[in-house]
Amino acid sequence: MASSEKSPVHDHDNDKASTEDGVIGAETQDIYSEDSLDPVYQAKARILNDAFQEIGMGKYQWYLFIVTGFGWLSDNLWPIVTGLILTQVVNEFNFEGPFLKLGQNIGLLVGAAFWGVGSDIWGRQWSFNITLFITGVFATAAGASNNYITLSSLAALWSVGVGGNLPVDSAVFLEFVPASHQYLLTVLSVWWALGQLLGSLVAWPLLAHYSCPTTTPPSACPRSSNMGWRYFLYTMGGLMLILFILRFFVFHLYESPKYLMGRGRDEEAVEVVHQVAAYNGKKSNLTLEKLREVGELRGEGGDEEKGRKLDTSATGAVKRKLAIFSGNHVKSLFATKKLAWSTSLLIVLWALIGLAFPLYNSFVTYFLATRGADFGDGSVYITYRNQVILSVIGVPGALLAGWCVELPYLGRRGTLSISTILTGVFLFASTTARTSDALLGWNCGYSFTSNVMYGVLYAISPELFPTKDRGTGNAIVASANRIFGVMAPIIALYANLTTSVPIWISGALFLISGVIALLLPFDPRGKASL
């Protein structure tokens, strides 16, 4: 099987997507070299890329931008929710606060691994629709917790839903958007910043007016005087259920054509492409024969023949499901030296940032309160006012990320590296603050650059994974992120949060991650994801 053979609808000399009616006019150069992926899959993926480029960015993709954004919003909202209520629940239940974060991070780990791999097994639709429902149900129930064990357990359960959002949602969006608009995957991080802003805005009045005062030493804090965090969980959990309704009942998500193609369901893949085109008021020139012709040219057996041999019994269906749990999806991510290097670096990046970010961000409200007390202005009102300001600053950072990743020479790699290094620098600088305003200023810089960093990180990872293994790849890096995230509250249990030690550790990890980002062998700027 010659690796230099060309797809009948793809010209590698000028990297233009073409159809029977001529050139579409958008560059869809592959991220991977010819020997990095299965040649049949690669050739078919190019045809689907060209088909979506022909359709263009239309109504379906813009609606998808909104409903997919709900996942980004949830992903950033819930980790800060536990940080926002930390002081209040510690006052009421009198326990070590990091245990709440530990329960949450364990749930995030389970969710990232389960939903990411699951989306490659039973498809994107179910995973995409059910994650918000799980989050909403258990978060709402958590508002009625009568002790810290119940609250921590429910936090773990709602986090199983939260953990699945990014691995699944990034794959869904990337597999429907034309190559010319892949940068919108980075822009989606504006929803991530909005999640933090929304949580801070809602928490500010509820926690400022319905919470026990923070005293030293701690004083009695009965439930009747501390209802703010419960109202907050009821509100945020209810919001998740509303977003689930919008996703499930208002917007109809088609199954990913690349997922269908990767599972040998070419006819369904072609049908979805035509449905999306019709939704956008367009027509597609894609035909089933084009995909089958590629399979024949590349040496693939006929799909119809395989279909006749398929065991359609219940036992056969179970066997096929279990067979997908083999290591094939993982092995494909390490198929060549260059691809293995790329995958390994992404895992390291997500792991280090997974420790650095929650080590600081999960406890920033507590840190601001204690430092504010040191500076003589540690009121609940000022603490949450400052949290809102930090959240507002993050929104333009997310928008800037979408612009920077398309710049020549800078691209995804450069933007990720610079923003990550600056995030660490701002954290180091914050330890020099001697006034509340100075601390707020350094934290504003941190909030801005960290939102740029996460915007790029969330986009570059799914772009660098091939579609048939994208869910598994997303699950691996997200799991690495969550495993190291579990370490953050453990460190917090042994490190005094009123000192700068956790901040120094977090800042150093960001600096190291920024250097590692420069070593990534691929940069998806201007290239189509397969």
Report how far residue 430's alpha carbon sits from residue 500's, in angstroms, rounded to the nearest whole number. Answer: 9
Q: How sure is the predictor about 357, in pLDDT bands with cuts at 50, 70 and 90?
A: confident
Report how far residue 6's alpha carbon sits from residue 495's, in angstroms, rounded to the nearest whole number. Answer: 58
Does the pLDDT of residue 25 top 80, yes or no? no
More confident residue, 214 or 406: 406
Rg (CA), the chain: 24
Q: What element of type H or E holds 19?
A: strand 16-19
Residues β-bridged to residue 435: none
CA distances from 46 to 51, 222, 299, 487, 528 (A): 9, 62, 17, 41, 8
More confident residue, 340 or 361: 340
Q: Which two tokens stand for residue 501?
A: 């030690």
Does the pLDDT of residue 7 top 60, yes or no? no
Tell me what the mean pLDDT of segment 455-482 comes to: 77
Residue 170: what are its φ and ψ, rounded to 5°? -65, -40
- pLDDT digits 0-9 by tens, 31-45: 444 444 567 777 888
Give the pairing of strands 22-27 and 16-19: antiparallel
C-alpha triplet 524, 526, 528: angle, nearest 5°: 65
Residue with structure tokens 């999306």? 276
Report how far residue 221's alpha carbon sits from residue 89's, in angstroms, rounded to the nearest whole number. Answer: 9
For position 316, what pLDDT does the model report?
A: 40
Tell me what the mean pLDDT of segment 201-206 comes to: 91
Report how far residue 189's alpha carbon sits from residue 454's, in angstroms, rounded to the nearest whole number. Answer: 7
Report how far residue 123's alpha carbon sits from residue 261's, in angstroms, rounded to the nearest whole number. Answer: 11
CA distances from 302 to 265, 266, 316 (A): 12, 11, 20
Q: Look at residues 391, 389, 422 and name the one whose alpha carbon lies nearest to residue 404.
A: 422
Does the pLDDT of residue 422 top 70, yes or no? yes
- Classify domain 59-254+332-517 at the CATH class level: mainly alpha
For position 315, what pLDDT does the model report?
A: 46
What's the order of all strands across the beta sheet hosting 22-27?
10-11, 16-19, 22-27
- pLDDT digits 0-9 by tens, 472-511: 787 788 788 888 888 888 887 776 666 677 788 899 999 9
CA distances from 274 to 18, 24, 58, 127 (A): 17, 17, 13, 23
**3-class DSSP assignment, residue 23:** strand
More confident residue, 389 or 218: 389
Q: How sure is the predictor about 399, in pLDDT bands with cuts at 50, 70 and 90?
A: confident
Q: What is the mean pLDDT of the chain?
A: 79
Q: Which two tokens stand for residue 236?
A: 């945020």
Residue with structure tokens 């420790």? 355
Considering all CA atoms of the chain, what is the largest pairwise distance in Å, rounded to the nearest integer?
A: 77
Yes or no: say if 269 and 291 are a contact pair by the CB < 8 Å rule.
Answer: yes
Q: Is the peptide bond before 217 cis (omega within 30 degrees of 0)?
A: yes
Q: Where are the beta strands (DSSP E) in 149-209?
A: none
Yes or no: say if 225 and 110 are a contact pair by the CB < 8 Å rule.
Answer: no
Highest-confidence segment of 26-30, 112-116, 365-369:
112-116
Q: Look at residues 349, 330, 325 and name the one whose alpha carbon lies nearest to residue 340.
A: 330
Residues β-bridged to residue 27: 16
**3-class DSSP assignment, residue 24:** strand
C-alpha triplet 458, 460, 462: angle, nearest 5°: 75
Supply the DSSP symbol for 156.
H
Yes or no: say if 226 and 208 are a contact pair by the CB < 8 Å rule.
Answer: no
For position 370, what pLDDT does the model report?
A: 62
CA distances from 314 to 121, 251, 274, 306, 310 (A): 17, 32, 31, 18, 12
Report how far residue 425's alpha carbon sits from residue 326's, in angstroms, rounded to the nearest whole number. Answer: 43
Q: Which residues 6+ apart lie within 8 Å of 430 measured at CB?
A: 439, 442, 443, 446, 503
More confident residue, 467 or 134: 134
Q: Look at residues 164, 147, 137 and name the one whose alpha carbon lies nearest to residue 100.
A: 147
Tell me what the mean pLDDT of segment 22-34 comes to: 42
Task: Indicate the domain borders of the chain.
Answer: 59-254+332-517
**3-class DSSP assignment, residue 37:** coil
The sign of the dihedral angle between the CA atoms of 492, 494, 497, 499 is: negative
Report how far residue 138's alpha carbon sits from residue 160's, in angstroms, rounded to the nearest whole number. Answer: 10
Report how far residue 374's alpha carbon sits from residue 26's, in angstroms, rounded to the nearest whole number. Answer: 58
Q: Which two tokens stand for residue 4?
A: 């230099």
Q: How sure is the predictor about 246, in pLDDT bands with cuts at 50, 70 and 90?
A: very high
Q: How sure is the predictor about 517, in pLDDT bands with cuts at 50, 70 and 90?
A: very high
Q: How sure is the predictor about 22, in pLDDT bands with cuts at 50, 70 and 90?
A: very low
Residue with structure tokens 């934290």? 443
Tell me what the mean pLDDT of segment 274-298 comes to: 85
Yes or no: say if 188 and 410 are a contact pair by the CB < 8 Å rule.
Answer: no
**Helices 380-404 and 364-375 meet at what angle, rounded to 10?**
130
